């Protein structure tokens, strides 16, 4: 029986899984501090706060939209039936209003950064909102999710410099392969449901074993790019320590998720990847300032 009550701020935070911001936020900080340090700019707290706002508002809009457009699927899926919209904690109209407010706040924050960010902000929203529709027509939906989160490092770099450079683009590609890899793991939980509802995911198309192999390959590509970023960026010991820990955590998640046992997929998806992103970002930023 749905629980009908007035929506609270905590319900909206739950709607968008605010704790999952931990995936994109560290890479946004990487892009920001790369821009400041590499170009010998003074650290601007104003710019840093605006970058954090952009990450928050863009992600809120994206996740809110995802919950809005998937509400009928969520209602049918036992794993997601207790989410805020199908459980009538938040109405669809309220969720859509939440998306619009956050999209507007994202564009406004982009405008306060610089004109290039403002100019690109509608395109960024198109990418992060568009991901929610991709599972209906392409098996590459996991890659589109990675693309959405990959805007964080390059976007933060542009917020400071208003120009494109190779190094932040490399970190954006790291995010694409890293996120696509762990999203495949997450999608293992819904193989039968996705097949029944004709939703396209790589695990539903390939089965558990092949999907796990592809997830591992995506993560190997991400680690190759981590090494390339370290070499091109001229990083030192702290960076490589962080890269090693990042690699160990990614390897560990592939050890604990098996074709015959996905009981620890949430540990792999949330805990391991959250730790990996934070630790890697901390060591990279420390290397920039302590070299």
CATH code, domain carrying 205? 1.10.357.140
Identify whether 2 is part of a domain. no
Identify whether 151 is part of a domain. yes
Identify whether 60 is part of a domain. yes
CB 116 within 8 A of CB 162: yes
Question: What digits encode the pLDDT tens for the residues 49-80?
Answer: 999 999 999 999 999 999 999 999 999 999 99
The three-class DSSP label of residue 46 is: helix
Q: Give one word for 200, left, alpha or beta, with left for phi > 0 and alpha for psi -120 to 50.
A: beta
Give the count of beta carbons closer than 10 Å to the beta carbon of residue 34: 24
Query: Whole-model pTM?
Result: 0.94
Domain around 96: 14-290
Provide the domain count of the chain.
1
Residue 4 confidence (pLDDT): 43
H helices of the chain, in order, are: 9-15, 25-38, 45-69, 71-76, 92-113, 115-134, 141-161, 166-187, 191-196, 202-206, 208-232, 237-256, 265-266, 273-290
Identify whether 102 is part of a domain. yes
Residue 7 confidence (pLDDT): 62
Identify whether 19 is part of a domain. yes
Identify whether 70 is part of a domain. yes
What is the average pLDDT value for the chain, to the nearest integer? Answer: 95
Identify whether 8 is part of a domain. no
Identify whether 9 is part of a domain. no
Residue 47 confidence (pLDDT): 97
């Amino acid at each position: 029986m749905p629980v009908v009550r007035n929506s609270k701020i905590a319900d909206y935070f739950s709607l968008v899984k605010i704790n999952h911001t931990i995936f994109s936020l560290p890479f946004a900080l990487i892009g920001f501090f790369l821009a400041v340090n590499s170009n010998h700019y003074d650290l601007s707290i104003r710019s840093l706060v605006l970058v954090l706002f952009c990450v928050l508002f863009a992600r809120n809009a994206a996740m809110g939209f995802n919950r809005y457009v998937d509400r009928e699927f969520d209602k049918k899926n036992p794993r997601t039936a207790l989410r805020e919209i199908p459980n009538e904690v938040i109405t669809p109209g309220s969720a859509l209003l939440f998306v619009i407010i956050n999209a507007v706040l994202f564009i406004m924050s982009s405008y306060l950064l610089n004109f290039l960010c403002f100019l690109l902000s509608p395109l960024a929203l198109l990418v992060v909102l568009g991901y929610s529709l991709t599972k209906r027509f392409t098996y590459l939906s996991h890659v589109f999710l990675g693309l959405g989160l990959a805007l964080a490092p390059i976007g933060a770099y542009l917020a400071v410099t208003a120009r494109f450079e190779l190094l932040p683009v490399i970190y954006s590609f790291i995010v694409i392969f890293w996120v696509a890899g762990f999203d495949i793991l997450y999608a293992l939980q819904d193989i039968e449901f996705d097949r029944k509802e004709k939703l396209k995911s790589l695990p539903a198309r390939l089965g558990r074993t092949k999907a796990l192999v592809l997830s591992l390959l995506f993560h190997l590509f991400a680690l190759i790019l981590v090494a390339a970023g370290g070499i091109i960026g001229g990083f030192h010991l702290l960076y490589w320590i962080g890269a090693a820990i990042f690699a160990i955590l990614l390897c560990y998640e592939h050890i604990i998720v098996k074709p015959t046992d996905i009981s620890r997929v949430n540990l792999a998806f949330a805990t391991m990847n959250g730790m990996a992103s934070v630790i890697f970002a901390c060591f990279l930023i420390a290397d920039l300032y302590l070299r």
